[in-house]
Amino acid sequence: MQTTSIHGMWSSRLAFILAATGSAVGLGNIWRFPYVTSDNGGGAFVLIYLGCILLVGLPIMWTEIVIGRRGRMSPINSLRELSDDAGASRKWMGIGFLGVIAGFLILSFYSVVAGWTLHYGFLYLKDLFGGATITDPDATFGSLLAQPGELAFWHGLFMVMTVSVVAFGVEKGLERAVSILMPLLFVLLLVLLGYGMNTGYFLEAAGFLFKPDWSQVSGAMIVTAMGQAFFTLSLGMCAIMTYGAYLPSGVNIPRVGVTVAATDTVVALVAGLAIFPIVISFGLDPAGGGPGLIFTSLPLAFAEMPFGILYGFLFFTLLSVAAWTSGISLMEPATAYIVEATNLSRKAAAICVAAVAWMMGLASVFSFNVWSEVRIGGLEVMDAIVYVANDVMLPVGGLLTAVFGGWVLSSRITHEELDKKMPDWAYNAWLWVTRIVTPALILVVLAGLFGII
């Protein structure tokens, strides 16, 4: 059994928690969660999403960390090792390959959206110095999307920021970045929540988020809730598995898993509680906001409210920081694999991954302008990529991960890794949820997705 990884190790339990939380907390929480909640009518969606986190997300999070820590390599090679050990087929490495492909797809569009947030942060910074750049938010957002060169530039800048962390490795790159950025993120989030609570519309917003209207429930909504649960916890594409490979041996996996999942969930809800009061207080409809919610509705409010420009700057800085620590985790699995499989240095490997992902991202860039008429299966290009990666590949990856952890790995290994001192009942609860409940729920959702039920 390996106790260290060739890529480096987190120096402490806290370093892992910050890195994994940094991966989980991102655009998914602050950009996507509010608008998918808004598009799906609020409370009922939130409750179904929370159910998915508990019954699907958490067991898979534990399983990914177990596989990563036991294998101590990039997901593809960890899965090869563990399959060999278990006498199982090497086809299980496919989970790792699927993860790397999903990682490229997600990083490609993620970086484009992260580029929007960098651009907005920059606009508000200019405003702070008397620029008044966002006078008509719809026009500002529209004109950004209409310019492929501008989009490609900000998308490129985000990629450069990300690669410049990943290139320096686990300790000097990833750990150092998250130890600075995550505290900054939490402070910014609290400032914004404080403002939301002061608008006088906090209770209305809480009602929208938590009061279920069950008439809104549909198959499509459940698919979105499950996809969002995977996306927000960074599961199903081996990112958390990769971080698990760098986790010191004595750390209690169930405990860190709960900490990461709970923090991510709280941040999504806090983001909702910070954003919806502002939307409501300016007479805007919280429902049906779409992906532009924070780029069009919020700037309308920022233009009117006291210290709105400063608030806007802080908000988009927060979002950029959150996206950055997630982008790092999207780049790490493929980078670690290239380092293992070739004789490229980490720097060279990371630059290759960034270059390929940047080029793939051009598809998302063009989907708003040059290719705006193109439809793939009825969806715009970027939406199609998001759909395939988030709603199909992540749940499929998660399903296979759960089956591998529950049925292929020996229970001696999983018990040892989760926690040797764990009482049998707790271990058995994990085992049977991972073997039966989680895969069954994912299968039902996938069946719904493909119209089988």
Q: Is 117 in the site for ligand PFF (CB under 6 A)?
A: no
Q: Among 41-49, 326-334, 410-418, 445-453, which window interacts with ligand PFF (CB under 6 A)? A: 326-334
Regarding 239 and contact with ligand PFF (CB under 6 A), the answer is yes
Residue 376 bridge partners (DSSP): 379
Tell me the DSSP string of 191-251: HHHHHHHHTS-HHHHHHHHHS--GGG--HHHHHHHHHHHHHHTT-SSSHHHHHHTTS-TTS
**Which C-beta is closer to ligand PFF: that of 265 or that of 329?**
329
Q: Does 106 bind ligand PFF (CB under 6 A)?
A: yes
**Nearest-approach distance from CB 268 to ligand PFF, in angstroms:** 8
The stretch among 26-34, 81-89, 120-128, 345-353 that binds ligand PFF (CB under 6 A) is: 26-34
Per CB under 6 A, the segment of 151-159, 284-292, 293-301, 323-331 that binds ligand PFF is 323-331
Backbone angles phi, psi at 376, to 5 degrees: -115, 115
Contact between 27 and ligand PFF per CB under 6 A:
yes
Q: Which is nearer to ligand PFF, 309 or 336 (CB)?
A: 336
Rank residues 296 and 329 by Cβ distance to ligand PFF and give the closer one. Answer: 329
326 binds ligand PFF (CB under 6 A): yes
Residue 69 contacts by C-beta under 8 Å, 6 or more apart in sequence? 244, 245, 247, 249, 253, 417
20 lies in the site for ligand PFF, by CB under 6 A: no
Binding of residue 37 to ligand PFF (CB under 6 A) = no
Name residues contacting ligand PFF, limited to 191-210 (CB under 6 A).
none
Give me 135's structure tokens.
């006078």
User: Judged by CB under 6 A, does residue 23 bind ligand PFF?
Assistant: yes
From the number of C-beta atoms within 10 Å of its C-beta (0-12, 13-18, 19+), residue 276 rates as buried
Q: Does 68 help bind ligand PFF (rule: CB under 6 A)? A: no
Segment near ligand PFF (CB under 6 A); pick from 63-71, 73-81, 324-332, 423-431: 324-332
Nearest distance from residue 84's CB to ligand PFF, in Å? 26
Angle at 18 between CA 102 and CA 400, to 5 degrees: 30
Among 140, 232, 263, 296, binds ligand PFF (CB under 6 A): 232
The angle subtended at Cα 132 by Cα 315 and Cα 282, nearest 5°, is 55
User: Could you say which of 22, 28, 41, 361 contacts ligand PFF (CB under 6 A)?
Assistant: 28
Q: Which one of residues 112, 174, 330, 408 is an interface residue with ligand PFF (CB under 6 A)?
A: 330
**Burial per residue of 134-166, b for 16 or more beta-carbon CB atoms within 10 angstroms, e otherwise:** beebeebbeebbeebebbbebbbbbbebbbbbb
Q: Which of 19, 13, 346, 5 is nearest to 175 (CA)?
A: 19
> How many C-beta atoms lie closer than 10 Å to residue 69's C-beta?
25
Q: Tokens for 393, please give them.
A: 């590949």
**Shortest Å distance, C-beta 445 to ligand PFF:** 18
Please, which residue, 24 or 300, has the CB nearer to ligand PFF? 24
User: Which residue's entry shows tokens 């994912």?
Assistant: 442
Rounded least distance, CB 234 to ligand PFF, Å:
4
Q: Is 434 an interacting residue with respect to ligand PFF (CB under 6 A)?
A: no
Total number of residues that touch ligand PFF (CB under 6 A): 15
Q: How far is CA 151 from CA 119, 144, 252, 291, in A?
A: 9, 7, 43, 16
Residues that bind ligand PFF in the complex, under the rule CB under 6 A: 23-24, 26-29, 106, 231-232, 234, 237, 239, 326, 329-330
